[in-house]
Amino acid sequence: MADQCDTLQPITNSDETEGSSTVHSGDGRIKRRLSFSSERNSKTAEEPSMTCTLLSLQSVSDDSNSEIDEERRTDSIKINLESNNGTDVKGVPNTEEKENSSEPSDIIQDQTETEETSGPDDRKDTNTEEQDAEVVRKAQEEGCVDVVFPGAVTHDGCYRFVSEILKCILYQRQQLPMTYDQLVYSQKKLQTSKQERGAVTRRPLHSADLDLRKCHQTLQELEELLQQLEMLFSLSRVPRVLLLMGGSLILPKEMYEVNMEALALAAGDQSLRASSCLRQIFRTLFVADLLSDNNPVRLMPTTVLALAHRECGVGWFRPKLQFKVPTRVKNKIITLSTEGHGAEGEDWQDYVWFQAPMAIKGFTN
Per-residue pLDDT, 7? 43
Per-residue pLDDT, 345? 63
Q: Indicate the helix (H) or strand (E) that contains 255.
A: strand 254-259
**What is the rounded CA–CA span in Å between residue 284 and residue 128?**
12
User: For the chain, percent helix, then strand, then coil, each to nearest 5?
Assistant: 40, 15, 40
Per-residue pLDDT, 106? 54
Query: What domains lie within the chain, and their CATH numbers?
Result: 143-197+206-361 (3.30.900.20)
- Torsion 150-334-305-343 (CA) sign: negative
CB atoms within 10 A of CB 211: 15
- Which positions of the chain have pLDDT values less than 50? 1-62, 64, 85-104, 107-108, 114, 201-203
**DSSP assignment letter at 340:** T
Per-residue pLDDT, 275? 95
Per-residue pLDDT, 195? 74
**What is the rounded CA–CA span in Å between residue 224 and residue 212?**
18
**What is the rounded CA–CA span in Å between residue 33 and residue 60?**
10
Per-residue pLDDT, 199? 53
Among residues 15, 23, 14, the alpha carbon closest in space to that of 51 is found at 23
**What is the rounded CA–CA span in Å between residue 278 and residue 147?**
10
Per-residue pLDDT, 37? 40
Per-residue pLDDT, 362? 86
Q: Are 338 and 148 in contact (CB under 8 A)?
A: yes
Residue 334: φ, ψ to 5°: -110, 105
Half-sphere exposure of 174 (CA within 13 A, CB side): 9
Per-residue pLDDT, 315? 92
Per-residue pLDDT, 207? 58
**What is the rounded CA–CA span in Å between residue 362 and residue 214?**
9
Among residues 165, 173, 169, the alpha carbon closest in space to that of 297 is found at 173
> Would you say the pTM of this structure is higher than 0.85?
no
Residue 201: φ, ψ to 5°: -75, 150
First to last CA, the chain: 126
